[in-house]
Structure 1
Amino acid sequence: MKVDDFDFDLPRELIAERPAEPRGSARLLHVGAQGLIDGRVAELAGMLKPGDVMVFNDTRVIPARLFGRRGEAGVEVTLHQRVALDSWKAFARPAKKLRPGDRVDFGHGFSAAVVEKGEAGEVTLRFDQSGEALLAALEEFGRMPLPPYIRKGQADERDKGDYQTVFARAKGAVAAPTAGLHFTPDLLAELDARGVRRVTVTLHVGAGTFLPVKVDDTADHRMHSEIGVISADAAAAVNAAKSAGGRVVAVGTTSARLLESAADETGCLHPFDAATDIFITPGYRFRLVDVLMTNFHLPRSTLFMLVSAFMGLDRMKSAYEHAKASGYRFYSYGDACLLERKASP
């Protein structure tokens, strides 16, 4: 399909600079058999059914944006994929003058060597620390990697809490699974009381999720790769709920992509521990996910392509036009929609 098919206009004032407070007060557009229904995230439990299983991404965002020096020149790097305990792929600015063998100093003895140079400003860095020590150094020297459309990516102290889900556990993401940002302990308790089962999986979201699609046809786009984990217990819980007639509700496109990567043709979910670069566009047959909760996405993005595959391009464009006209807030800190792929049984 042509990438232009996924384009739409969005007024700058609809891009959220901060999350709703409290989190559950964010708006929720329910797109399903009854058409478009405006609601609030706090009302989510009443929109789901006992026996449904919600799948959350428990990845934890690390302070992956670093500012250092190569000699006298300043260098900014944003880590986006771990390749070893001491090595990450990163986007560097400026990257033109960086060469393998160069060392970037981030201060106080914390530094990294450039070991490989890729395309579009990508480099591979090997740090002088590894594992938990490296993560601790990132906590000390790094900044939260806000997407570029929020305050030009300039994070502050408040973002350390705002840009993290309440169930974040597994360190490794450089972007938040933003649909999960809406949840509070009270809402999770309401879901439990409703009889909705909760399962966690892990997909370490990479900065590549914000890369623009630069080709004219979706068939020519190369999707970024991300590391995902689904435990045997999580897979069994999802399969049991599905077998009992419950719906699989993916919280966020990250959860949806991971579930679809690990499901077979029959819709059975298998344990998973690998990288995935699944690229979902209209024409894809969903194997497992029945309902998707997600935020409102960038035009021409792989995420808008995914939701268009889930619900149909025309239907999603109509939903987005309604959201724009109704003043919904867009992107990572914005409002959400609940998409039901088919009528409830």
Structure 2
Amino acid sequence: MEKYRKIIIDTEGSDKGPEMMIRGVAEALRAHPTLSVVLVGKRALIEGECEKLGVAPERVEIIEANDVITNYDSPATAIFGKPDSTLVVALSALAERDDIDGMINAGNTGALIAGAMRFLSAPDRVRPALCAVLPGANGNFTCLVDTGATVDCTPAVLHHFARLGSDFMKKYYAIDEPKVALLSNGAESTKGNKAVKEAYPLLEADGDISFIGNFEGTRALSGECDVLVADGFAGNQVLKVSEGIARRIITDIVKYSKKTGEENIMKLVGYLMGIYDFNSLGGGILLGIRKPVIKAHGAANEQSIVSTSGILLNMLENKSVFDEKNHIH
């Protein structure tokens, strides 16, 4: 019998409620035979949903937590002020228990970052970053970092994020020398805001990364770089605008197909959805902490939980992603 990989899941925080999260977990357990889960939330609700969905009891552990950190809570205040919240309980269990390998959360991003810094900081106390893996034009992938963990960055933090992203792409995608670019409003080294212009020479002088210069937003999905570095504000906008444009184009194609009766176009829609739909892509990966944590989209559906679980399992199986200190850094 294969050894189970146990991940902990915060059932609260999603825009669609805990019932959707539990349905997603049930589908993930069917899709991934080596997966077992620890579900954090309201015990009676979780037990009722799991029984209704026919989830095997031996693959589910429940930890009761009845408080919730909402998107309106101040992240740092909530992490310290709501010790019985599902997020704090889940992060604490992940940090303390050796049998729990990773975590999925779909709630307050800022609170997740603050909680990860409190419970899962690496030995050298590096600042965590939230990365998203974007599809490139040539079937390759680009690590966009940061996508919301730190909205205001110093040049040193941007340099640090470049190193985290490069290390991740080396270890997870086995790219020997990931090409690193810096998001700016022009290709020239003199373009960008103060932090970007001052970060440019830091990246250029770092012999441990392969820096290829500034990229404008139009090249974010080109596949020309393996790592695209941005502050969390700009990176989050690149991510959300890309999602919005992809969704709009796919919707227009579906409308055209219905109007013309060209059913073959739906094959194209399925292909594009597999590439650009955020539910298929999974979620954001926290870099620079001791155990893997994935932030699912707040509007995630059941398929997103399946995809995110798969990514987490792949990271756990690919032991080279974690160094001897057990963190991506």
Q: Compare the two structures and name the one with the higher helix fraction.
A: 2
Q: Per chain length, whose mean CA-contact separation is higher, i.e. which structure has more relative contact order (CA < 8 Å, sep 6+)? A: 1
TM norm. shorter chain > 0.5: no
Q: What's the TM-score once normalised by structure 1's chain length?
A: 0.26
User: Structure 2 length as normaliser, TM-score?
Assistant: 0.27
